Structure 1
Amino acid sequence: MLGRFTVRPSDAGDGTYGVWDGAVNGWRAPNLDKTEAERIKTDLDLQFNAHGPRPADDVRSVDPPQPVEHLTAWEPAELDAWIRDGGQWLGRVRDRDGHIAWIPQSDLRPAGQQTP
């Protein structure tokens, strides 16, 4: 289940962010800028599910990352990993602005593919 890790404002009150681990109710990485916190969060999502380490069969790396488009107006993005979570495959994509998101497999397609 995704959602174990969240990006939150740090306790320092200095405008930084951190990655909160809901399973242990504590910080994994405090005092970061928001972009770095989001990157670390998705790296932790690759490694862990709600119960502990993610099974190796539930993770696939894409090397080199592949260009894809996702259903939100078929926006261009770059796919660099897959995880199986809750019985479905999710791709980790980075959009042209550097934002990272987990997108269901059914909402992704190779870049340049036309809608039938």
Structure 2
Amino acid sequence: MELYICEVLRLFPPVQIEHKYAIKSDILPSGDRVLSYKFMAFNADPRSCLSKNTSFIPLKIIVIALLWNFHFQVVEGNSMRPSVSIMLHMKHGLQVKHVKDREYKKRP
């Protein structure tokens, strides 16, 4: 479950803008490696968020409860285009149908 949540946060970070910047110009020596990935939701090691593990507990509980009790399906014809802004949200909203799991299993 944690890997699933991490991947969702990596692909769709709630805050899309990185506020860090260089104080002065710097040239990396030849051969230095710069990691091509970033995990913006909690930042990357060694300066990662101290409460990352604590925040995952209620997040896991909520996701598990929703997935256990409901079946979700994106409404047909709904375009999933993210809006360009500081916070991630869909340009035209994201319409989703949800059905209680018991009702979904009764369907033929």
* TM superposition score normalised by structure 2: 0.25
Q: Give the structure, 1 or 2, with the largest relative contact order (CA under 8 Å, sep 6 or more).
A: 2
* TM superposition score normalised by structure 1: 0.24
| Largest Rg, 1 or 2 | 2
- Which structure's residues are more often strand, by fraction? 1
- Which structure's residues are more often helix, by fraction? 2
